[in-house]
Amino acid sequence: DAGITQSPRYKITETGRQVTLMCHQTWSHSYMFWYRQDLGHGLRLIYYSAAADITDKGEVPDGYVVSRSKTENFPLTLESATRSQTSVYFCASSEALRAPAETQYFGPGTRLLVL
Amino acid sequence: AQKVTQAQTEISVVEKEDVTLDCVYETRDTTYYLFWYKQPPSGELVFLIRRNSFDEQNEISGRYSWNFQKSTSSFNFTITASQVVDSAVYFCALSAPGGNKLVFGAGTILRVKS
């Protein structure tokens, strides 16, 4: 029972390169989320998805692209990486909305370094 | 707009001491949820508790307890008889309207020394 997994766990890239971070969940959760964690900011929402083919921007979406063709996968792409995108990226998922908020369960994170 | 403030950036205690982590939130919603997550040194985020805004009863789970006070917009977390394994970053979060979103505080680093 893998739950929610992210790959790669660590990534070093160079400025201007395209990078895709993968997220996969086995719970059939409707909602999926991408956050970035930076010192002093906690976790900030980048994008989220309520279902396959439904995505929406979060607090800090600039420079990122997402897609969700299958319920279980939610890849995050940095189209042209910048140093300011050096961060730890967390994927999360939650069940279909039956309340103002359902509990989100997080993946192990991806540490991204942009040189 | 929703906002979560964790004013304590870092707390250091000695093992067996009790410690309280503060969380103050701002929201205009009448129905909302509050959460606490733990991030141990290994880096993963572990869900601890989810509390409905209509339920102001304190909750206790082992050495952990949570005090929710709507009057002061606070949802504080107390660890009784702290242990070294409690060393972690603790995040408080608040539900935001629309799309099942959460707004997180900046986190409190808890260091428990033996």
Which residue is closest to A103 within chain B, CA to CA?
B50
Confidence label for A33 from pLDDT (cuts 50, 70 and 90):
very high
Mean residue pLDDT across chain A: 94
Which residue is closest to B100 within chain A, CA to CA?
A101
Q: Is B85 helix (H, G, I), strand (E, B) or coil?
A: helix
Give, for A45, the enclosing helix (H) or strand (E): strand A42-51
Q: Verify whether the Cβ–Cβ distance B43 to A109 is below 8 Å.
A: yes
The C-alpha atoms of residue B60 and residue B67 are separated, in whole angstroms, by 9
Confidence label for B76 from pLDDT (cuts 50, 70 and 90):
very high
The C-alpha atoms of residue A38 and residue A86 are separated, in whole angstroms, by 9
Confidence label for A102 from pLDDT (cuts 50, 70 and 90):
confident
Report pLDDT for A22: 98
Mean residue pLDDT across chain B: 93
The C-alpha atoms of residue B54 and residue B100 are separated, in whole angstroms, by 18
The C-alpha atoms of residue A104 and residue B11 are separated, in whole angstroms, by 26
From the CA of B44, how many Å to the nearest CA of chain A?
5
From the CA of A77, how many Å to the nearest CA of chain B?
20
A17 Cβ contact list (under 8 Å, min separation 6): A80, A81
Q: Is A28 helix (H, G, I), strand (E, B) or coil?
A: coil
* pLDDT tens-digit series, residues A36-85: 999 888 899 999 999 999 999 999 999 999 999 999 999 999 999 999 99
* pLDDT tens-digit series, residues B10-57: 999 999 999 999 999 999 988 899 999 999 999 999 999 999 898 888
DSSP-assigned beta bridge partners for residue A54: A51
Which residue is closest to B36 within chain A, CA to CA?
A103
The angle formed by the CA atoms of residues A33, A39 and A43, to the nearest 5 degrees, is 20
Structure tokens at A90: 């967390």
User: Residue B43: left if φ>0, alpha if ψ -120 to 50, beta else—which one?
Assistant: left
Helices (H) and strands (E) in chain B, counts: 0, 12
Maximum Cα–Cα distance across chain B:
44
Q: Verify whether the Cβ–Cβ distance B47 to A104 is below 8 Å.
A: yes
Confidence label for B59 from pLDDT (cuts 50, 70 and 90):
confident
Q: Verify whether the Cβ–Cβ distance A99 to B97 is below 8 Å.
A: no
In the predicted model, is pLDDT for residue B98 greater than 90?
no
Report pLDDT for B30: 87
CB B102 within 8 A of CB A104: yes
Q: Verify whether the Cβ–Cβ distance B106 to A42 is below 8 Å.
A: yes
Q: Verify whether the Cβ–Cβ distance A31 to B100 is below 8 Å.
A: yes
**Cβ-based contacts of B101 with chain A (< 8 Å):** 33, 45, 48, 58, 101
In the predicted model, is pLDDT for residue B99 greater than 80?
no
From the CA of B55, how many Å to the nearest CA of chain A?
14
Unique residue bearing structure tokens 């929406």: A56
A interface residues, B as partner, C-beta within 8 Å: 31, 33, 35, 40-45, 48, 50, 56, 58, 88, 90, 92, 94, 97, 99-106, 108-109
CB B77 within 8 A of CB B90: yes
